[in-house]
Amino acid sequence: MADPIVRTIAALTHGRFLIDVPPDTAPPYHLLVGFHGYGESAEQHLEQLRQIPGASGWLLAAVQGLHRFYSPGRPDDVVASWMTWQDREQSIADNVAYIDAVIAAIVADYPIVRLVFAGFSQGVAMAYRAAVFGASRSQGVIALGGDVPPDVLDRSAAAFPPVLIGRGAQDTWYTDQRMGADIADLQAKGVAVRAVVFEGGHEWNEAFGEAAGELLKRVASAE
């Protein structure tokens, strides 16, 4: 029996993102946009962003992946993922357009002067893609426990902001070898990279949060 013909078609769907209460500082604001890991929610990731020292002075937004499902074992909890290998190129384009629309919606409501993207686990690839492929120029990427996607590495160093990479020493998914390869690839392109390894596993950790806070402080104080 012959293989079927595979086609794709664009379909309209609605994404979901959370904006934290605006900081007490006077506008314009610095904006930190975060992307959760596989099987997590925007609510969970917003709590992670809130833990970063100094983040209370930023406008925080957590974006939820377009592919929602019920959490296994917790049928009342809705979680999400970003993409799979299937129709990869189309999914990347859809996600980048989604994030561009999120940023445009935020900017329409709040004046923004600085922008940083953050990601955990599967959300790391989204943070890189938003920074490199997105319509809005960013001043930093915070990447915890996830790879640099190969499509991003095709771009020149000029497309990249400074990058903070982190992993837990006991993380068996984002290993020391994978982190080392990412650092080498980015540095070979001339991208400014800082790496942090903390005691812990595949998790958002307080020690990494402190390093992320230092990046936010540098970005906020830059002329």
Q: What is the mean pLDDT of the chain?
A: 94
Q: What pLDDT does residue 24 have?
A: 80
Query: Which range among 35-39, 73-77, 166-170, 204-208 shows the weakest confidence by mean pLDDT?
Result: 73-77
Asked, for residue 6, whether it belongs to a domain, the answer is: no
User: Mean of the pLDDT values across residues 50-62?
Assistant: 95
Residue 144 lies in a domain: yes
**CATH assignment at residue 95:** 3.40.50.1820
pLDDT tops 70 at residue 223 = no
183 within a domain of the structure (yes/no): yes
Average of pLDDT values for 40-46?
96
Nearest of 161, 104, 166, 105 to residue 129 by alpha carbon? 161
With 0.75 as the threshold, say if the pTM is over it. Answer: yes
What's the pLDDT band for 75 if we cut at 50, 70, 90?
Answer: confident
Q: How many domains does the chain have?
A: 1
In a domain, 80, yes or no: yes
**Range of 197's domain?**
26-221
77-86 contacts, C-beta under 8 A, 24 or more apart? 77/41, 78/41, 79/39, 79/40, 79/41, 80/36, 80/39, 80/40, 80/41, 80/42, 81/38, 81/39, 81/122, 82/35, 82/38, 82/122, 82/123, 82/125, 82/126
Return the DSSP state at 53: T
The pLDDT value given to residue 22: 85
What is the rounded distance in angstroms from the CA atom of residue 184 to the CA atom of residue 191? Answer: 10
Secondary structure (3-state) at 52: coil
